[in-house]
A and B are shown apart, each in its own frame.
Chain A
């Protein structure tokens, strides 16, 4: 009996949906927390508890992003860029070759995948920086306006870049899924 999903397909879902999707949700939640807590004094009991949860939220986002990029680069990208045998006409097992085979889809490799190869690593670095600050200076992150603004900016950039990478991943997977 055929299995519903191949191993490669499951890895792709773990990469894009579980880890990438989880990171996006955590980034959005952390951004919201930073925004609503930005006027807190950071020393009251409520703010202390909330800032601790915010810190763990950013750590979760950073870990999820690192796992996403490492899995994407070292597990998924290899099969994606595999070279088809000479004269092969069925390219469904070779996503990069399939995308490059027609002008209409070539951009999904030359622009979309090329962006996905590098941009998500930037989001992992920026989110890790915010997670470090959130863990080390929990109360200061919500009470210091300049730190709060910088953290929101970096998380906002991370969220936007990760969203673009995720959207491009959806496009690629719709046209040339790794099966």
Chain B
């Protein structure tokens, strides 16, 4: 993702775009964890027995989202970032996540 000049906090959009993109990354990360679980490659540990594996999958997805947010925020908070590219990537990640979280898709794998 390209960034341009550093400018003051008052006028930059970096922190906002970091939050939006991190949302897309978090959604995709959760979907990826679910898919990896479905195909038997990776199974997140269960955090709460009665609820089963969903507790581990969602916890891992949430951690991935927060890590992505922290990293992007630190890199972009003082920058002016191209909103068009971030918007496109964010929407694509969310769209992929929604498709991958649709159970009939798992049958195709």
Contacts and interface: CB of A to CB of B under 8 A. Distances in A.
A128 B23 contact: yes
A137 B18 CA distance: 13
Interface string A68-82: 010001100111011
Secondary structure at the B interface, as helix, strand, loop or mixed, is helix
Interface residues of A, number: 38
Majority secondary structure, A binding face: helix
B11 to A, nearest CB: 8
A78 B16 contact: no
Interface string A125-139: 110111011001100
Interface stretch (A6-14, A18-26, A34-42, A116-124): A116-124
Contact of B23 (A77, A78, A119, A125): A125
Nearest to B55: A73
B57 to A, nearest CB: 7
B63 to A, nearest CB: 12
Given A118-B57, A125-B65, A136-B16, 4 more contacts: A110-B103, A121-B58, A126-B27, A154-B23
Interface of A: 69, 73-74, 77-79, 81-82, 110-111, 114-115, 117-119, 121-122, 125-126, 128-130, 132-133, 136-137, 140-141, 144, 146-147, 149-151, 153-154, 157, 161
